Amino acid sequence: MSVITVVLLVITLLFVTLLIVKKIAPEIVKICAICVAVSLTWVSLLALSIFGYIDDMLIIGILMGQSSLGIYYLLEKKSPKDLLVFRLPVLLTLTLLVFTVVSASWYLDAWLLVLVIWLGVGLLYVYRNSEWAKGKVKSMIECCSDW
């Protein structure tokens, strides 16, 4: 059986198991079954990779990317509207974090770029009510609204 087949099967089994657990104890278990199934899978694969049992970083990276996007969507859903101006730096940070883990490499230039983007967006946020920033901030907040 291929690695991808095993991974898909594990995610499915974890998902079904977590749905059952949520059904049995809905007041105690308040989780996203898909998110937890995917996260448990890549954490397990990452541990297996660290100990030398697998060397397929592609599937780990794909699953970590799914988790980072899930975190992004959760933050987007729970954040006040005016903080949505930070969508890009959050997404870039999560992407770079996953890349750093999967590649086991630290690229200072990439981290500095993300820091500069955070600072730039932070300045826009601080001055969001000023004439020069208002339109830019509004565009950034509404970037995903009407499509």
Q: Is there a contact between 109 and 99 (Cβ–Cβ < 8 Å)? A: no
Whether residue 122 is predicted with pLDDT greater than 90 in this model: the reply is yes
Whether residue 144 is predicted with pLDDT greater than 80 in this model: the reply is no
Q: What is the pLDDT of residues 106-116, one digit of tens each?
A: 999 999 999 99
Query: Of 147, 23, 3, 144, which is closest to residue 76 (Cα–Cα)?
Result: 144
Query: Of 35, 37, 32, 30, which is closest to residue 13 (Cα–Cα)?
Result: 37
Q: What is the pLDDT of residues 66-75, one digit of tens each?
A: 999 999 999 9
Average pLDDT over residues 124-132: 87
Task: Work out the pLDDT band at 147, boundaries 50, 70, 90.
Answer: low
pTM to 2 decimal places: 0.83
Whether residue 145 is predicted with pLDDT greater than 80 in this model: the reply is no
Largest CA distance in the chain: 60
Share of the chain above pLDDT 70, in %: 98
Q: What is the pLDDT of residues 32-77, one digit of tens each?
A: 899 999 999 999 999 999 999 988 899 999 999 999 999 999 998 9
